[in-house]
Structure 1
Amino acid sequence: MYKFYYPLGRPMPQSSQEQSLERVEQCFREHGGQITRENIEPLIRACQLPLYWKAPLFIAAGGEKLGHLTEEQFIDYWNRLISSCHDSYSRFVRILNRGLRSYLLPEDFLALIQDVVDTHPGLTFLKEATEFHSRYVHTVIARIYYCVNRSWSGKITIPELRRSNLLQVISYLEEEEDINKITDYFSYEHFYVIYCKFWELDTDHDLFIDRNDLAKHNDRALSDKIIDRIFSGAVTRGRAHKQDRMGYQEFVWFLISEEDKRHPTAIEYWFRCMDLDGDGYLSMYELEYFYEDQLQRMEALGIETLPFTDCLCQMLDMVRPAEHGRISLSDLKKCRMTPVFFDTFFNFDKYLDHEQRDPFASHRLDDEGPEISDWDRYAAVEYELLVAEEGGGDSQDDICSPILTSWLWFYNSVSCKETFHLVTVDAVVNIESVLYGDEDELSMGVDNVLDGSDCDLGVIGSELGVMSGNGGLKKHSNLSATVPNLALDQMEVDDDYSDYADSDDYQY
């Protein structure tokens, strides 16, 4: 029988493998038989791989042991790889997990994403702020699993990778210098929005939030019943939900699901929450159970209520379920108005907003231009609001804006005002002019600004977590914290997921 199933890709002709090995040999000859991590780019080109595979490839081929790759060592590795893995998807999995598994775990992405932080031109401002690398890396990983891991297993398989756009986005990283234009997974602005939202709720800054913290999200727009379901284990697993806590990665999933209810993962997320008995259907009883909270809030505010029977008729007409009297997950995935459906039952503010808005307006907007996800719209608006609240000014076109934002947050913080009262608005304006000026003048300019503000430089240095001396701040490129300045000892997370990922704690 003719073979039609190739789980690792259709085998390439022997001549193609030989040509690939010849290109690799030529590359090593041109570099004296050894290639280091710093000059690995020509080798990546010879292998015809995307640029940002370079760090995982260097590690997988054994380069970390000696600090470099030898020709014999790499030829042996590359020959084995292309002989067994015949397409980019299977090779990506084999390189990232070093051949240990047939799937990817979250820690397998650490080297790749850290290399993006270290070398992508759109993240140069973040390079010195090493204390924030971990948060960005873990945000990207959480977003990757949100979009790619459609099985919710915590393990990305080769078929899941093929059905996603992840490899295309990673390839696009080397073409686009503005990281914020890569809205899938890697956008710094999206990370900034997510982390600031988490920071607002995590008042004790232990990198966990409980149900009382989550209830404050968006001015308590979510019903108590849906919050209880989130913490019940319907969408979280492991020990965290048993302790009524939500970790940062789980919050990433929550926030994207809350703001983009058209996304397939978001539909599954909220369906799991509303399916109380876990039978795979939303019954009329379950819909009424959640709608009761909405009715109570409307009555408390003196808003005219819509009886459940009338609401139910509207929802059934909108969803058009295949089976009478119950709604399946596939019914909701076919419906283009899932935000209206879900918000009707557990998000009070958005429910009222839908009631007052033209229900077809969003469809007209979608038809008029390129498709933009609800999450992309939300992140763009929230980023501008955050920058405006914390610093004012137009930061859209300047990558230094997060640094200025953090300075202004520092100036406006309660602890700052209580510690010293002599930081003036003029000083902050001067800081802005320095940060947007010539980089060579940055150190001297910041020193002058702080000297002119009559501030205790030692206090400022200790508050910001940087060293002071010689009349000013050292490590001035790390003024930022680029996001609100957390207690760094609580913020650092062990980058080695090897034990953690195998436990029940890291699950989606």
Structure 2
Amino acid sequence: TPGTPPPAPTLPTPTSTPTPRSPSPPAAPVVVTPPPPAINIPRFYYPRGLPATGPATNHDAAIAAIEAAFTEFEEEKADIYEMGKIAKACGCPLYWKAPMFSSAGGERTGFVSVHSFIATWRKLLHGCHDDASRFISLLAKPSCNYLEQEDLIPLMQDIVDTHPGLTFLKDAPEFHSRYITTVIQRIFYVVNRSWTGRMTTMELRRSNFLQTLALLEEEDDINQITDYFSYEHFYVIYCKFWELDTDHDLYIDPKDLGRYNDHASSNRIIERLFSGAVTRGNAVQREGRMSYAEFVWFLMSEEDKKNPTSIEYWFRCMDVDGDGVLSMFELEYFYEEQCERMERMGIEPLPFQDLLCQMLDLVKPESLGKITLGDLKHCRMAHIFFDTFFNLEKYLDHEQRDPFADVDSEGPEPSDWDKYASEEYEILVAEETANEQLHEGYDAYSYTSIHAEEPFPVFQTLLTSCTFT
């Protein structure tokens, strides 16, 4: 048709030709890597001590020495008192004798034969390779690898019965259990770092308890051994408890404890003490009351806040929500009562924000806004920190002194607990002397006749006035 453009020419459809495929590369050979040679890592964990090697593994000489020691006794049998020679023949401290005696079955028969003891000791030598593991094994219950508090009672009773520095207690058997309780609490306070109530071999190794126990046979004056065993320290602790325990049932309640040191501690911290924050397991014997054993922990923690256990003790009390850190809210909670008490005394308290800045500068916590147990242990100022929040008397005392004055003192110094116990004992002695003089003035004849044979006059009031249930 005119005017219509011609259609586009039809192009021939190209035929597709297959592209030849390139040949595949040859497969790489499989390389089999041999396993690395086994690395022989020597054993490094010996819960019962590192076994001896060489001639030291032969215990024949030790057994022969034990057999020779038994020949000195009739029928080669030893009672509890004669076991001291056997302990020395074994190369052990004297006051291991009671645990050895019990472990070999002496409590059942009243004596230990040479054959039963050698069998017991040989088994111990083969299974336990250092003093700590042997001591635990001797005292622990069957199939237990730890000591609980009651496991130490036979050891302590033997010390009370036989140590020259405690002979005066023979006339006051009612005080045996109180002294034993005090010493055992002090041992666990220092040694049982895990707060489990179970003393492990590792904890015993890391402590100075076995070394201190060995000192008992060298020192007749037990008050020279201030770690654990000092009778003067017991006397101070028990007198402090007796003053608070007005009904003398060996328990105190929050009101009783509040009177300690003229109401120095705040009500809020006392409430936390009775909340179970610092008691272990089922140690709370009567709800709302503190036992004498628990008071030992309180007093040692209160009077030496530099001690690691004391820092843990008070940290647990201040950590109200139990999250492992002290928040600013918890600090303010405890400081509020301090402010109220200062205002009643006519003292203008430092505002919390200002005090908080001081405390953060003092502790220097790793994380802003919260204080951990590690922060308090590292700062060396935990005692000032704690007193600021719940002990008004000591807080005001710290305010009058340079907090860094005694931090960098050179040479070993007595602990705060040792200094407190020594000072308080002198005060108690002075009070006792004054009471004696007053008593003598009223009835010299009666007083002398009653106490003529008392070995240590300083204990007269306590020994003659206390009764136990």
Alpha-carbon shift at residue 129 of structure 1 (Å): 1.1
Look at both structures and tell me which one has the larger radius of gyration over its CA atoms: 2
Letter in 2 for 1:293: E
Query: Aligned pair 1:389/2:431, yes or no?
Result: yes
Deviation at 1:362, TM superposition (A): 2.3
1:9 and 2:49 are equivalent in the alignment: yes
Task: Provide the residue aligned with 2:388 in structure 1.
Answer: 344
Match of 1:299 in 2: 343
Letter in 2 for 1:171: A
1:213 is the counterpart of 2:256: yes
Output the CA distance in 1 between the equivalents of 2:442 and 2:256. 36
Paired residues of 1:103 and 1:158 also in contact (CA < 8 A): yes
Aligned equivalents of 2:286 and 2:89: distance in 1? 50
1:30 is paired with a residue whose SS is coil
Alpha carbons of structure 1 residues 356 and 478: separation in structure 2 relative to 1, 3 Å: closer
Of 419, 423, 444 in structure 2, the residue corresponding to residue 377 of structure 1 is: 419
Q: In structure 1, the residue corresponding to 2:82 is in which secondary structure? A: coil
Secondary structure of the residue aligned to 1:127 is: helix
Q: CA deviation at 1:236?
A: 2.0
Relative distance call for 1:98 and 1:49 in structure 2 (3 A) is: farther
Question: How far 1:370 moved relative to its partner?
Answer: 2.3
Taking the TM superposition and a 5 Å limit, the aligned residue runs for 1:170-209 are: 170-209=213-252
Task: From the superposition, tell whether residues 85 and 103 of structure 1 become closer, same or farther in structure 2 (CA, over 3 Å).
Answer: same
How many residue pairs get aligned? The number is 424
Q: How far, CA to CA, are the matches of 2:224 and 2:306 in structure 1?
A: 21
User: For residue 425 of structure 1, what is the aligned residue in structure 2?
Assistant: 441
Please say if residues 56 and 111 of structure 1, whose CA atoms lie closer than 8 Å, have aligned partners that are also in contact. Answer: yes
Measured after TM superposition, the shift of residue 243 of structure 1 is: 1.7
* Distance in structure 1 (CA, Å) of the matches to 2:442 and 2:87: 50
Structure-2 separation of matches of 1:278 and 1:383: 37
Contact 2:84–2:95, Cα closer than 8 Å, also in 1? no
Q: Could you say which residue in structure 1 is the equivalent of 2:135?
A: 92
Report the AA paired with residue 425 of structure 1. Answer: G
Spell out the pairing of 1:88-487 with structure 2 (5 A cutoff). 88-97=131-140, 99-237=142-280, 238=282, 240=284, 243-363=287-407, 366-367=409-410, 369-392=411-434, 408=435, 424-425=440-441, 449-450=445-446, 483=462, 485=464, 487=466
> Taking structure 1 as reference, are residues 487 and 476 closer, same or farther at Cα in structure 2, changes over 3 Å only?
closer
Match of 2:116 in 1: 73
Alpha-carbon shift at residue 484 of structure 1 (Å): 5.2
- Indicate conservation of the 8 Å contact 1:132/1:481, yes or no: no
In the TM superposition, residue 269 of structure 1 has moved relative to its aligned partner by 0.5
Distance apart, 1:50 and its partner CA: 0.6
Q: Deviations over 1:136-195 (max 9, x none)?
A: 000000001110111111110111111111101001111111111111100011000000
- Pair 1:171–1:70, CA change in 2 (3 A): same
Aligned 8 A contact 2:193 2:203 in 1: yes
Distance 1:489 1:302, change over 3 A: closer
Distance 2:441 2:168 in 1: 24
Q: Please give the alpha-carbon distance, in whole angstroms, between the structure 1 residues aligned to 2:141 and 2:321.
A: 41
Q: Which runs of 5+ in 2 are unaligned?
A: 1-39
* Conserved 8 A contact 1:231-1:246: yes
* Displacement after TM superposition at 1:481 (Å): 5.7
SS at match of 2:290: strand
How far 1:321 sits from its partner (Å)? Answer: 0.3
Query: Aligned equivalents of 1:77 and 1:486: distance in 2?
Result: 46
Task: Give distance in 1, aligned partners of 2:238 and 2:355.
Answer: 36
Any idea what SS the aligned residue of 1:362 has? coil
Q: Does residue 40 of structure 2 align to residue 24 of structure 1?
A: no
Q: Against the structure 1 CA distance between its residues 350 and 478, is the aligned structure 2 distance closer, same or farther, given a 3 Å change threshold?
A: closer
9-18 or 96-105, which moves further after superposition? 9-18
Look up the match of 2:7.
none
Question: Between the two proteins, what is the percent identity of the paired residues?
Answer: 56
Show CA shifts across 1:205-252 (max 9, x none): 000000000000100001111011111111125373762100001000
Query: 2:299 & 2:423 partners in 1: Cα distance?
Result: 15
Please state whether the residue corresponding to 1:361 is helix, strand or coil: coil
Provide TM-score, normalisation by structure 2. Answer: 0.86
Residue pair 2:224, 2:230 contacting (<8 A) in 1 also: yes
- Given that 2:174 and 2:468 are in contact with CA atoms closer than 8 Å, whether structure 1 keeps it comes out as no
CA distance in 2, matches of 1:260, 1:487: 28
1:60/1:98 contact within 8 Å kept: no
What letter corresponds to residue 125 of structure 1 in structure 2?
A: F
Task: Return the alpha-carbon distance in structure 2 between the equivalents of residues 87 and 241 of structure 1.
Answer: 36
1:233–1:241: 8 Å Cα contact kept in structure 2? no
Structure 1, residues 315-342: CA drift from partner, whole Å, max 9, x if none? 0001000101100000000011111100
C-alpha contact (below 8 Å) 1:128/1:478 kept by paired residues: no
Contact 1:284/1:326, CA 8 A, preserved across alignment:
yes
Compared CA separation, residues 242 and 312, structure 1 to 2 (3 A): farther
Q: Is the 8 A contact 2:253 2:288 kept in 1?
A: yes
2:249–2:468 CA contact under 8 A, matched in 1: no
CA contact (8 A) 1:427 1:450 kept: yes
Structure 1: how far apart are the matches of 2:367 and 2:455?
61
How far off is 1:485 after superposition? 4.1
Structure-2 change in CA distance of 1:350 and 1:57 (3 Å): same
> How far apart, in 2, do the equivalents of 1:297 and 1:484 lie?
38
Q: 1:289: how far off?
A: 0.5
Shift of the alpha carbon at 1:487? 4.7
Name the CA shift for 1:154/1:187 in 2 (closer, same or farther; >3 Å). Answer: same
Cα distance change, pair 269–122 in 1 and its aligned pair in 2 (3 A): same
RMSD after superposition:
2.2
